[in-house]
Structure 1
Amino acid sequence: MKRIIHSVNETSNYFSCVFEGKLTYFYLTKAQARKYMTYINKGHVVDFEIYDNQKKINRRLCWQVAYFNKIEKPGHQKTSVLFDLADIRNQMKEVLEGFQYRLFLDLEMTMPPYYKGPFEAEIIQAGYVLSDIDGNILVSDSMYIYPTKYKKISRRTEKFLQLDERYYVEAKDYTEFYDKLAYLVETYDPRIIVWGKNDMIALKASYQINQVKPLTTDHSFVNLLQIHKNYYNLSDDLGLFKAYELYYGKIEGQLHDAYDDALVTKKVYEALLEEMRNNYV
């Protein structure tokens, strides 16, 4: 719907518009308020969607805002666009299309034991797929990694990741993973695509645990989960395999395997790009 804002309550994060001849109220969640409230002023024109649920705020029945399509500030000579979802989505497409090399990375980490005690999560499996701008796979690998700080892997970790004797036979020292990642970063300078923040945090922590020079910064990464949340206006996190099913249909089973997850991340990335290209030329 597209309406002119009649009034705004900045303290309680709601605004009103005239709808079907009546003053109707709409509220923003705290997260939405942090993002949009600076644009919400009396007289501004808002194009937005709502959820089919209401709650009382200050004795007023308010509809929950789902997301905004556009927010405009009318002027005497021209109208200023303060927020435009279509423009943002188009910018996302241009950014994602522009990476010459993409390193799809997934990491599995140790989990704390069932009993309390000192613990710090460490990388114990890495899977990655390096592709060029056309999606061609140039390098792919998967490896188990021995933890450095806490050598004993908890039963909880073994059970969750379904680790068996193969892990203890095939696992390598962290330095081997580090050297392979260093080669990829120095040779291709790829943008590293991950699902969520956990892998970024774990990789950063691994540099400190192993006392090595960081190979990446925060700008090295693209959080594909956050891109999805922004693109589809999602308030809750979306699982990687749920995102896969969004594009490709139901997937049978889900193993906690870093290499498989890296491949799925690549497929989800490419499907999102296709969605963007179909809607934003």
Structure 2
Amino acid sequence: MADHHLFIDFEFTMPETERRDKSFVPEIIEVGMVCVSGLEVQQTFSSYVKPVINPILTERCKAFLNITQADVDQGISFTELVEILKTFDQSGNARVVTWGNMDMYVLRKSCEYWGVPYPFKGREADLSIEYKNFYGDRNQTGLIKALHEYGYKAKGKHHRALDDALATFEIYKLIENDRRYLNKTNSPCIGDFVDVASLFGKVGSGH
């Protein structure tokens, strides 16, 4: 397992209605990132990002994300975002962890759209899938619901990029703790290799 992890969450522009619109191109408008080494937070990063394709946020987007037009108007550009992300994975060994696959999908598509190199070279992990597989859930679970299932309350605000990235890291730590516990309790003991009853029977009979 890579020692260096980047827990990332993006928020995106949204069309005015929930109806699927294939022509709509989602853009990253907020980034939250938690840099972790050895399960210790080393650094956090948060910024708004200025959209270009649809520069004016829809009312639905502003209401759902609790974000204002002024917030994104003062944000960094997408190319600046990519350059910043690159600095956090200079070795190419960082493991990028998200909750769901949408974050990296939109990042890749945006890089293709603007003709800029994808910033990450290391492994990527969708923690929602790992959570689903580890606990045997039939369906994928939402980020906040997963926290609640652990008995934790979310800190900060849901759908704020840095708060969601921090929540993803919290769930990661809980999963890793459960994995260590299972590995410990499932460790083989002598009884797994030796028929103890048979052994004592032989000793008692003088063999």
TM-score, structure 2 normalization: 0.80
Shift of 1:245: 1.7
Shift of 1:107: 0.6
The answer as to whether partners of 1:109 and 1:124 remain within 8 angstroms in 2 is yes
Say whether 1:172 aligns with 2:76: yes
Say whether 1:262 aligns with 2:165: yes
* Partner residue, 1:122: 27
* RMSD of equivalent CA atoms: 2.2
The answer as to whether partners of 1:126 and 1:258 remain within 8 angstroms in 2 is yes
* Percentage identity across paired residues of the two chains: 27
The answer as to whether partners of 1:144 and 1:170 remain within 8 angstroms in 2 is yes
Say whether 1:161 aligns with 2:62: no
* Partner residue, 1:214: 118
Say whether 1:112 aligns with 2:15: yes
Looking at structure 1, the residues matched to 144 and 22 of structure 2 have their Cα atoms a distance apart, in angstroms, of 33
Equivalent position amino acid for 1:167 in 2: D
The answer as to whether partners of 1:148 and 1:210 remain within 8 angstroms in 2 is no
* Number of residue-to-residue matches in the alignment: 182
Greater relative contact order (CA < 8 Å, ≥ 6 in sequence): 2
Shift of 1:254: 4.6
Deviation track 1:166-188 (CA, whole Å, cap 9, x = no partner) reads 51453111122111101112146
The answer as to whether partners of 2:95 and 2:125 remain within 8 angstroms in 1 is yes
Looking at structure 1, the residues matched to 33 and 156 of structure 2 have their Cα atoms a distance apart, in angstroms, of 20
Looking at structure 2, the residues matched to 194 and 272 of structure 1 have their Cα atoms a distance apart, in angstroms, of 14
The answer as to whether partners of 2:12 and 2:26 remain within 8 angstroms in 1 is yes
Looking at structure 2, the residues matched to 181 and 253 of structure 1 have their Cα atoms a distance apart, in angstroms, of 23
Looking at structure 1, the residues matched to 144 and 175 of structure 2 have their Cα atoms a distance apart, in angstroms, of 14
Say whether 1:236 aligns with 2:139: yes
Q: Quick one: structure 1 residues 171 and 280, their matched pair in 2 at CA, closer, same or farther if it must change by over 3 Å?
A: same
Moved more, 143-152 or 232-241: 143-152
TM-score, structure 1 normalization: 0.60
Deviation track 1:201-244 (CA, whole Å, cap 9, x = no partner) reads 11111101221012236x63111010011111111110111111
Deviation track 1:46-84 (CA, whole Å, cap 9, x = no partner) reads xxxxxxxxxxxxxxxxxxxxxxxxxxxxxxxxxxxxxxx
The answer as to whether partners of 2:7 and 2:97 remain within 8 angstroms in 1 is yes
* Partner residue, 1:203: 107
Structure 1 regions of 5+ residues with no counterpart?
Answer: 1-97
Equivalent position amino acid for 2:64 in 1: F
